[in-house]
C-alpha cells in the first residue's frame, strides 16, 4: 500500500517523501482514506509515535480550500509542546502548498503576537491548547464559523488535565455540521462518553490493542528494598552507557531530589516539573531534545507534550497508581518502529500494582537482576573500546601536540598504553563498585517452596523468539561468568560472515537464550557448537519452547560438579602419593583463556 493508493495528493506526497516517509504506517492506512472519502466521525486509539499526526494531518490539509482565508480546521491539543509539534509537522507536510497557513496558539507565551498573526488573516488551520483558544474567542479574535473539521488529539490527556469544560465551550463555537476526529492512547469510559456526546456515529479504529502498550516495548522490573531504589537507578544508568531516557517520579520533590543527586554524582541529568517557570522548562526540554542531557527526571504532568521519538529507556521510579499513566509513560519509548525498554524499579509492596498493569497492557513484565558491578564494568569498558574505535581523529589539530605527547609516552608499549587508557575508566568504576552488594530484593519464601512452584508461562515466553526472530539456546550462563557483552564477544569470535544482529537476551544461571534473525539461526548454532568458553565446551541449538532447559542444565551442572570433585580427588591422591613418594602429576582441567575480540 502506498500513499498514492490511499488517495494522498502529489504535492503532499512530495513533501512527505522528503521527510523519509516511504510507506504509510498502520494508523495512516486506516484513517487517511476514511477522512478523504467518508463523512462519518472517527475515534482512533493510537499512541503518539504511531504516525497519527500524518494520519489526520494529510487528509486535513488536502481538504482545505486555499481560496478561503477563514479558519477551516481546528486541532486541539493538551499541551503547548504538542501544539507546536503538530504545527511544525503540518508546516512540513504543506511545504508545497504555499497558500495554506497553519498557526499554533498556546498559553505561556505572548498572546499579542498570536492576535497579530490571526488578524493578519489567511490562517486556515488553527492548532490550539484549549485555554488560550477560549481566551482568543472571548476577545473576538478567532471566528470558528467556517470550521468543517475538528481534531481532538490526545483526548485522554485532555481529560486528565481537566479540559472537558473548555472543549464544551469551544465546540459550542463550531458549526454543528462539522466532522470530528478524536485520537487517544487509552480508552477510559470518559472518552467513550465524549464520543457519544459530541460525535455522530463515529467509526472506531484501533491501532494495536485497546489500552495496550506499544508492541515493541520490553517491560522489565527490578525489585529492591525501598532504600536501594536510587542505587538501582544508578546501576541501570551505568549498565547502559548510551542511555537516553526519562525517569518518571510521582512528586515534584522526588523529581528535584533524584535529579540533584544524579547531577552531583556526575550524571548528565536534569529535572522537569511544575515548579519550574515556563522558560526554565523550555530550556530543560531543548537540552534534552538536543541530547545535551541524557537522563531527564520528570513528573508525568510536566513531561506531557515533550515529544522525542528515540528514547532508549523509560524508567519508572516506582509505579503510578493509575495504569493509564503507565501506558503513557511506556509509550514514550519504542516509537516509530524502534524498540525500547520500560523499566520499573519497585519495592516488594508494589507487586500488586505491577500485576494490575500487566493485565491492562496484556503483557508480562520480566523480572531482571539489578545489573552487577562486574557486568557494568565490562559493559563500560567495551563501550569505551567502541568509542576509541569510532572517535574522529582530527589530524590537523592534534598534530601540533602529538609529537610532544608521543615523546612523553614513548617508553610505553602499545599494550601498556591501551591498558592505561582503559584503566582511566576501569579504576573509577572499580573504586565505586568495590564491595558493592547485590541490590536485588530477596523474596522471603523458603528455597524449597520456590523450587516447588509450578513453572509458569513466563518460562515458555522466555524460550519463544520475538516475531521474525529465532531463539537460540547455549549451555553457558551467569554461573559461568557469562554476560551479554560476552555473548557478543563469543559470536564475534566464532561466527564468520556478516555481522549477527542479536535481539532479546535472557541470561540464566546455567544457560542463556537469545534472539537472532531467522536467516542467521543455523549459521550461529553451527558455529557455536563445539566452540569453547573459558574451557567449557559450548553446546547450542535452536531453542524448543517446550523443553525444560533448567532441568537439563542442572543435570549438566551435577555432572560438571562430579567431574570437578573427581579432579580435586585426583589432586588429593597425587599429594598423598607424592608424600609417600613418586607420583605422576594429574592433568589440570583445561582453562583456555577467553579470546579477545
Question: Using the rule CB under 6 A, is 183 a contact of ligand AMP?
Answer: no
DSSP state of 224: B
Q: For residue 336, state whether it binds ligand AMP (rule: CB under 6 A).
A: yes
Fill in the per-residue mask, 143 to 172: x = in contact with ligand AMP (CB under 6 A), - = not in contact.
------------------------------
- Which candidate, 314, 354, 366, 345, places its Cα nearest to that of 506? 366
Per DSSP, the three-state class of 172 is: coil
Among 8, 12, 25, 181, binds ligand AMP (CB under 6 A): 25
Cβ 542 to ligand AMP shortest distance, Å? 33
Beta strand 512-517 with 502-507 is antiparallel
Check residue 93 for interaction with ligand AMP (CB under 6 A).
Answer: no
Q: Which is nearer to ligand AMP, 144 or 191 (CB)?
A: 191
User: How many residues touch ligand AMP (CB under 6 A)?
Assistant: 16
CB of residue 100 to ligand AMP, shortest distance in Å: 18
Read off the C-alpha cell for 538.
559450548
Span interacting with ligand AMP, options 19-27, 310-318, 414-422, 437-445, rule CB under 6 A: 19-27
Cα–Cα distance, 501 to 156 (Å, whole number) = 38
Distance in angstroms (rounded) separating the CA atoms of residues 49 and 38:
25
- Bridge partner residues of 540 (DSSP): 474
Helix (H), strand (E) counts: the chain: 24, 20
- Cα separation, 77 vs 106, in Å, equals 9
Beta bridge partners of 249: 299
Q: Which of 12, 13, 15, 24 binds ligand AMP (CB under 6 A)?
A: 24
- The answer to whether the CB of 308 falls within 8 A of the CB of 279 is no
Question: Which span sits near ligand AMP by CB under 6 A: 17-25, 191-199, 473-481, 492-500?
Answer: 17-25
Q: Does 331 bind ligand AMP (CB under 6 A)?
A: no
Give the footprint of ligand AMP on residues 485-504 (CB under 6 A). none
Note whether 333 binds ligand AMP by CB under 6 A. Answer: no
Which of residues 23 and 242 has its CB atom nearest to ligand AMP in the complex? 23
The one among 265, 309, 321, 466 contacting ligand AMP by CB under 6 A = 309
For the record, the C-alpha cell of 105 comes out as 496558539
Shorter beta-carbon distance to ligand AMP: residue 82 or 465: 82
**Closer CB to ligand AMP, 48 or 160, in the complex:** 48
In whole angstroms, the minimum distance from the beta carbon of 316 to ligand AMP comes to: 22
Cα(81)–Cα(264) distance, integer angstroms: 29
Please choose, from the candidates 591, 314, 371, the residue with its C-alpha nearest in 3D space to the C-alpha of residue 485. 371
**Which residue bears the cell 469551544?**
170
CB 243 within 8 A of CB 295: yes
Shortest Cβ 102–ligand AMP spacing (Å): 15
| Pairwise CA distance, residues 128 & 134, whole Å | 10
Q: Does 354 bind ligand AMP (CB under 6 A)?
A: no
**305 touches ligand AMP (CB under 6 A):** no
The grid coordinates listed for 590 are 583445561
Cβ-based neighbour number of residue 408 at 10 Å: 9
Q: Of the two residues 21 and 163, which places its CB atom closer to ligand AMP in the complex?
A: 21
Shortest distance, CB of residue 89 to ligand AMP, whole angstroms? 7
User: Residue 50 belongs to what H/E stretch?
Assistant: none
Least distance (Å) from ligand AMP to the CB of residue 309? 5
Residues from 29 through 88 that contact ligand AMP (CB under 6 A): 48-54
If one counts every other C-beta atom within 10 angstroms of the C-beta of residue 259, the result is 24
| Shortest distance, position 21 Cβ to ligand AMP, whole Å | 4
> Would you tell me which residues interact with ligand AMP (CB under 6 A)?
20-21, 23-25, 28, 48-54, 309, 335-336
Amino acid at each position: 500500500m502506498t500513499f498514492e493508493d490511499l488517495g494522498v495528493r502529489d504535492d503532499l506526497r512530495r513533501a512527505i517523501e522528503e521527510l523519509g516517509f516511504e510507506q504509510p504506517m498502520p494508523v495512516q492506512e486506516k484513517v487517511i482514506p476514511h477522512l478523504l472519502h467518508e463523512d462519518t466521525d472517527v475515534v482512533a486509539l493510537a499512541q503518539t509515535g504511531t504516525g497519527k499526526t500524518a494520519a489526520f494531518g494529510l487528509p486535513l490539509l488536502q481538504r482545505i480550500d486555499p481560496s478561503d482565508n477563514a479558519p477551516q480546521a481546528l486541532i486541539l491539543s493538551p499541551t503547548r509542546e504538542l501544539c507546536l509539534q503538530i504545527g511544525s509537522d503540518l508546516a512540513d507536510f504543506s511545504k508545497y502548498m504555499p497558500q495554506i497557513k497553519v498557526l499554533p496558539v498556546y498559553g505561556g507565551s505572548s498572546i499579542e503576537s498570536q492576535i497579530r498573526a490571526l488578524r493578519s488573516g489567511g490562517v486556515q488551520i488553527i492548532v490550539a491548547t484549549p485555554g488560550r483558544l477560549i481566551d482568543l474567542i472571548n476577545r473576538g479574535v478567532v471566528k470558528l464559523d467556517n470550521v468543517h473539521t475538528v481534531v481532538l488529539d490526545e483526548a485522554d490527556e485532555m481529560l486528565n488535565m481537566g479540559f472537558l469544560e473548555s472543549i464544551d465551550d469551544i465546540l459550542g463555537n463550531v458549526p454543528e455540521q462539522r466532522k470530528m476526529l478524536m485520537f487517544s492512547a487509552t480508552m477510559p469510559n470518559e472518552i467513550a462518553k465524549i464520543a457519544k456526546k459530541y460525535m455522530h456515529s463515529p467509526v472506531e479504529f484501533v491501532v494495536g490493542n485497546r489500552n495496550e502498550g506499544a508492541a515493541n516495548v520490553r517491560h522489565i522490573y527490578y525489585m529492591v528494598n525501598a532504600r536501594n531504589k536510587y542505587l538501582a537507578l544508578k546501576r541501570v544508568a551505568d549498565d547502559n552507557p548510551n542511555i537516553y531516557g526519562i525517569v518518571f517520579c510521582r512528586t515534584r520533590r522526588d523529581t528535584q531530589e533524584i535529579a540533584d543527586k544524579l547531577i552531583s554524582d556526575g550524571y548528565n541529568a536534569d529535572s522537569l516539573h511544575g515548579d519550574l517557570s515556563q522558560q526554565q522548562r523550555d530550556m530543560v526540554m531543548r537540552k534534552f531534545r538536543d541530547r545535551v542531557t541524557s537522563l531527564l527526571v520528570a513528573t508525568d504532568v510536566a513531561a506531557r507534550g515533550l515529544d522525542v521519538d528515540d528514547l532508549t529507556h523509560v524508567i519508572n521510579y516506582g509505579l503510578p497508581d493509575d495504569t493509564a499513566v503507565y501506558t503513557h509513560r511506556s509509550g514514550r519509548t519504542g516509537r516509530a518502529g524502534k524498540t525500547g525498554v520500560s523499566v520499573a524499579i519497585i519495592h516488594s509492596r508494589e507487586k500488586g500494582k505491577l500485576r494490575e498493569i500487566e493485565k491492562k497492557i496484556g503483557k508480562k513484565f520480566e523480572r531482571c537482576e539489578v545489573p552487577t558491578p562486574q557486568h557494568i564494568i565490562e559493559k563500560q569498558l567495551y563501550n569505551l573500546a567502541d568509542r576509541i574505535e569510532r572517535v574522529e581523529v582530527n589530524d590537523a589539530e592534534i598534530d601540533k601536540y602529538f609529537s610532544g605527547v608521543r615523546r612523553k609516552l614513548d617508553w610505553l608499549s602499545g599494550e601498556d598504553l591501551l591498558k592505561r587508557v582503559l584503566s582511566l575508566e576501569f579504576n573509577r568504576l572499580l573504586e565505586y563498585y568495590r564491595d558493592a552488594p547485590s541490590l536485588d530484593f530477596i523474596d522471603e519464601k523458603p528455597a524449597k517452596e520456590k523450587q516447588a512452584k509450578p513453572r509458569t508461562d513466563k518460562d515458555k515466553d522466555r524460550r519463544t523468539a520475538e516475531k521474525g526472530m529465532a531463539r537460540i539456546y547455549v549451555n553457558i550462563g551467569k554461573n559461568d561468568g557469562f554476560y551479554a557483552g560476552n555473548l557478543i564477544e563469543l559470536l564475534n569470535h566464532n561466527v564468520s560472515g556478516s555481522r549477527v544482529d542479536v535481539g532479546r537476551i535472557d541470561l540464566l544461571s546455567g544457560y542463556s537464550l537469545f534472539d537472532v534473525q531467522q536467516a542467521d539461526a543455523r549459521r550461529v548454532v553451527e558455529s557455536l557448537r563445539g566452540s569453547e568458553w573459558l574451557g567449557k565446551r559450548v553446546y547450542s541449538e535452536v531453542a524448543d519452547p517446550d523443553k525444560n532447559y533448567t532441568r537439563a542444565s542442572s543435570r549438566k551442572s551435577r555432572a560438571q560438579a562430579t567431574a570437578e570433585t573427581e579432579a580435586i580427588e585426583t589432586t588429593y591422591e597425587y599429594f598423598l602419593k607424592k608424600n609417600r613418594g613418586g607420583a605422576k602429576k594429574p592433568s589440570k582441567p583445561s582453562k583456555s583463556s577467553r579470546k579477545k575480540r
